[in-house]
Amino acid sequence: MKKTIVLTGGSKGMGKSTLLKFAENNFDILTCSRKKTDLRLIGDEIREFYPNINFNSIDSDLSDKTGCDKFIDFVNSNTDKVDVLVNNVGTFIPGELMNEDEDALEFMINTNLYSNYRVTRGLSKIFISQKYGHIFNICSIASKVAYENGGSYCISKFAIYGFSQCLREEFKKFNVKVTAVLPGATRTGSWDGTSLPDERFINVDDISNSIYAAYDTSPGATVEEIVIRPQLGDI
């Protein structure tokens, strides 16, 4: 029987790379993004190279509860089992705590924490019932190391890292693994226009390969954290 991955924010960057990696390993896919056109492109690519994969997607903005509920209903209406959940949705707005827009913290907590919290809660009955599965939360090196101009982004990423630790403790008894993924600067669209060479960044495929390797461990083992940083240091 084929396995199923649910991944939020799957149209670009780390999300897209992760979907392609799991499609390569014969996983059916349920994903979302805010833009239908982006979802159509990744869907077409997966169907071309992996025609046996069932790819289902929906446009949804997970920065608010209505969008989360929309995606949860979509997943529950399309599958009764989830082998892997990757909470990938997130955003970054630079700024200092005392100078950033006063709405910055609320927006990034909603996007970087509440979205992942709500989706996990909405699908938790599946994991508890089937008594297996693996949840990956895409955190950041900023979940452990605050940096200048990180502001509310760092706060939100510290929060999802704490969420991962709590979730791991609660889900142990259900045989569900939880892994926090903490990448440093990764070459995604958010770095477009930089003068730094690509070699200065982590490649998105390094993240997706590491996620799959952590998933592909024996039942008795859990990779609790994946920390990947640029070889020459953080940017």
- How would CATH label the architecture of 3-228? 3-Layer(aba) Sandwich (3.40)
Q: How far apart are the first and last CA of the chain?
A: 43
Which pLDDT score, from 0 to 100, does residue 190 have?
61
Tell me whether residue 132 is one of the annotated catalytic residues. no
Please classify residue 64 by burial: count the beta carbons closer than 10 Å to its beta carbon, then call 0-12 exposed, 13-18 middle and 19+ buried. Answer: middle
Q: Is the pLDDT of residue 192 over 80?
A: no
SS3 for 160? Answer: helix
Can you tell me the distance from the alpha carbon of 222 to that of 91, in angstroms, rounded to the nearest whole number? 27
Question: With 80 as the cut, is the pLDDT of residue 108 above it?
Answer: yes
Better-scored residue on pLDDT, 173 or 187: 173
Cα–chain center distance at 181: 8
Q: Which of 50, 114, 153, 215 is catalytic?
A: 153
Q: Is the pLDDT of residue 124 over 80?
A: yes
Backbone angles phi, psi at 180, to 5 degrees: -95, 130
29, containing H or E segment: strand 27-33
Q: Kindly state the average pLDDT of the residues 47-66.
A: 96
* pTM as predicted: 0.94
Model pLDDT for residues 205-217, shown as the tens digit of each residue: 999 999 999 999 9
Using CA atoms, how far apart are residues 155 and 166, in angstroms rounded to an integer?
17
What residue spans define the domains of the chain? 3-228
Look at residue 191 in the predicted model and tell me its pLDDT: 65
